[in-house]
Amino acid sequence: MIELTLDEIAAAVDGRLVPGASGATGATAVTGESQTDSREVAEGQIFFARRGEETDGHRFAAKAVDSGAALLVVEREVDDRVPQIVVADSTDALGALATEVVRRVRGAGGLRIVGITGSNGKTTTKNLVAAMADRLGPTVASAKSFNNEVGGPLTMLRVEAGTETLVAEMGASAEGEITRLTDMAQPHIGVVLTVGLAHAGGFGGIETTFRTKSEMVRALDATGVAVLNRDDPRVARMAELTEARVRWFGQSEAADVRASDIVGDASGTRFTLHADGASRPVRFRVLGEHHVMNALAAATVGLELGLDLDAVVETLEAAVVAAPGRMEVLGGRDGITIINDAYNASPDSMSAALRTLAQVRRPDARSVAVLGAMSELGELAGDEHDRIGLQVVRLGISELVVVGADARRLHISAINEGSWDGESVLFDSADDAFDYLKSGLRPGDTVLVKSSNAAGLQALGDRLGAEFAPASDATTEEVTA
């Protein structure tokens, strides 16, 4: 974070400074990063004590001080060993401080802000864009999937005086949440990837999702750039809602940055990248053809930031690892491949992952889908689980292993579609599924593990990866998204 005095921080968050027993004054400077998890606090950092649904951060303030916190932002006084700033709402204060830091660095000139939203693909695209921005100068990007009212400002508060680019995921589970983030850090470039059914239950329907995602382009002014998916009809409609210049990506001939000749296999995807009248072959090592769209979005941003096409291609081809649980390739013993994609799931990403499984399996071996529930679908949950169960059968997946009662309709739909001879099995727990797979997988099998994070199957994918790791190599190749 940039250097700010305690008085400046208190003013930014509309709080009351309590110096405590440390001898600090309003002129005392703080430069450390901000944390909301006391376990993450390091020397010189700021701890924001938030009240959550299940716990209260004020209970852990003493632990944060023990770990070296230089400042507490609290809703009530808790520990006088270090200065405290007392505020009405710690989460609001976190956002207010992020707004002030970004305002100051942006006002000094040179800070470019890229905002990324969409129902699927935000983290992959963010990581690719960050890699491109890194080629041009110091870059701050969201860690993990930090994209909400807490993760967003925590990312913004890592900006320093020399930061040239801020790459921020901006997610939402309700209308207004993306606007809240863009008010903290108005993007110069706003990316919208897809409008799909992720969080549809919380949003209340696809049109509400559309309005929410369109908050990204509405935040752009006439000097900004909207990077939009030409192949998604709802995203394409957003061109009418922004003052910004529009740059299209997709497979459509109408896209400014597009892909053709797409061929995928177990090692990634090959395609031809077309932009600004030039073309280049690309060997993209992130598994799954659906990630080509994320690569195109990132390429469009890279070009807007000032990279030439060759540098964009070099960056795409260097991408291998992004985050655990996202099309992460594990295993390898006896030719058994585990694809752990259970960090999260929506109907669109589940469908894409299944198509990838069908595509990359060995011709002479089996494909096994280990699936859990997709959460936050509301009244659409039943129909969408039915649709995925049907797709498993129609893609010719060799075996379906369904985990958890919430995913039961996947199992029933597959049986109704024709998997009545044991091709689909249902287990109540991940432990039971692990025992079954441990003894039942065959040499050469390709296994996809996919569910929403709430279903808890990422750990199952990790266990299977470890179980079938080559005996002589404890580390496995990762190709994640």
Q: What is the pLDDT of residues 360-395, one digit of tens each?
A: 998 899 999 999 999 888 888 899 999 999 999 999
Q: What is the pLDDT of residues 120-159, one digit of tens each?
A: 889 899 999 999 999 999 999 988 777 889 999 999 999 9
Average the pLDDT over 466-480 and give the result. Answer: 64
Residue 180 CA to chain centroid, in angstroms? Answer: 18
* Phi, psi torsion values for 444, nearest 5 degrees: 90, -10
Q: How much is the pLDDT for 481?
A: 43
Spatial contact of 348 and 235, defined as CB atoms under 8 Å apart? no
How crowded is residue 115: how many other Cβ atoms within 10 Å of its Cβ? 30
Amino acid in the structure at residue 13: V
Question: What are the boundaries of each domain within the chain?
Answer: 4-90, 110-318, 328-467
Q: How far apart are CA 184 and CA 260, in angstroms?
A: 38
Nearest to 453 by CA among 145, 176, 169: 145
Q: How much is the pLDDT for 204?
A: 59
Domain 110-318 has CATH 3.40.50.720: no
- With a pLDDT cut of 90, the percent of the chain lying above it is 77
How crowded is residue 341: how many other Cβ atoms within 10 Å of its Cβ? 29
Q: How far apart are CA 54 and CA 52, in angstroms?
A: 6
- With a pLDDT cut of 70, the percent of the chain lying above it is 95
Q: How much is the pLDDT for 196?
A: 78
Model pTM score? 0.87
Amino acid in the structure at residue 73: V
pLDDT of 317 > 80? The answer is yes
pLDDT of 257 > 50? The answer is yes
Using CA atoms, how far residue 177 sits from 151, 168, 181, 254, 325, in Å, is 12, 14, 7, 31, 26
- Chain mean pLDDT for the chain: 92
pLDDT band for position 208 (cuts 50, 70, 90): confident
Strands 34-35 vs 399-403: parallel, antiparallel or unpaired: unpaired
480 vs 230 pLDDT, higher one: 230
Partnered with residue 221 across adjacent β-strands are: none
Tokens of 236: 């394409």
pLDDT band for position 190 (cuts 50, 70, 90): very high
Average the pLDDT over 182-201 and give the result. Answer: 85
- Identify the sign of the CA torsion 87, 88, 90, 93: negative
Helix segments in 324-457, DSSP class H: 347-360, 381-394, 408-417, 430-440
- Identify the sign of the CA torsion 430, 434, 440, 445: positive
Average the pLDDT over 12-18 and give the result. Answer: 97
For residue 413, count CB atoms less than 10 angstroms from its CB and return exposed for 0-12, middle for 13-18, buried for 19 or more: buried
Partnered with residue 48 across adjacent β-strands are: 73
Average the pLDDT over 17-22 and give the result. Answer: 91
Those residues with Cβ within 8 angstroms of residue 288's Cβ, 6 or more apart along the chain or in another chain: 264, 269, 327, 352, 353, 356, 481
Q: How far apart are CA 470 and CA 161, in angstroms?
A: 46
pLDDT band for position 237 (cuts 50, 70, 90): very high
Tokens of 16: 């009351």
**What superfamily would CATH give domain 4-90?**
MurE/MurF, N-terminal domain (3.40.1390.10)
Q: How much is the pLDDT for 479?
A: 38
At residue 370, the 3 state secondary structure works out as: strand
pLDDT of 359 > 50? The answer is yes
Amino acid in the structure at residue 283: R
Annotated binding site: 118-124
Average the pLDDT over 328-337 and give the result. Answer: 93
What is the chain's percent helix, strand, coil content, to nearest 5?
Answer: 40, 20, 40
Q: How much is the pLDDT for 474?
A: 47
- Identify the sign of the CA torsion 171, 175, 178, 181: negative
Q: How far apart are CA 15 and CA 47, in angstroms?
A: 15
Annotated binding site for ATP: 118-124
At residue 112, the 3 state secondary structure works out as: strand
Domain 328-467 fold: Protein-Tyrosine Phosphatase; Chain A (3.90.190)
At residue 269, the 3 state secondary structure works out as: strand
Q: What is the pLDDT of residues 385-426, one digit of tens each?
A: 999 999 999 999 999 999 999 999 999 999 988 766 678 999
pLDDT band for position 205 (cuts 50, 70, 90): confident
Residue 36 CA to chain centroid, in angstroms? Answer: 19
How crowded is residue 168: how many other Cβ atoms within 10 Å of its Cβ? 28
Average the pLDDT over 442-448 and give the result. Answer: 96
Strands 16-18 vs 84-86: parallel, antiparallel or unpaired: antiparallel
pLDDT band for position 477 (cuts 50, 70, 90): very low
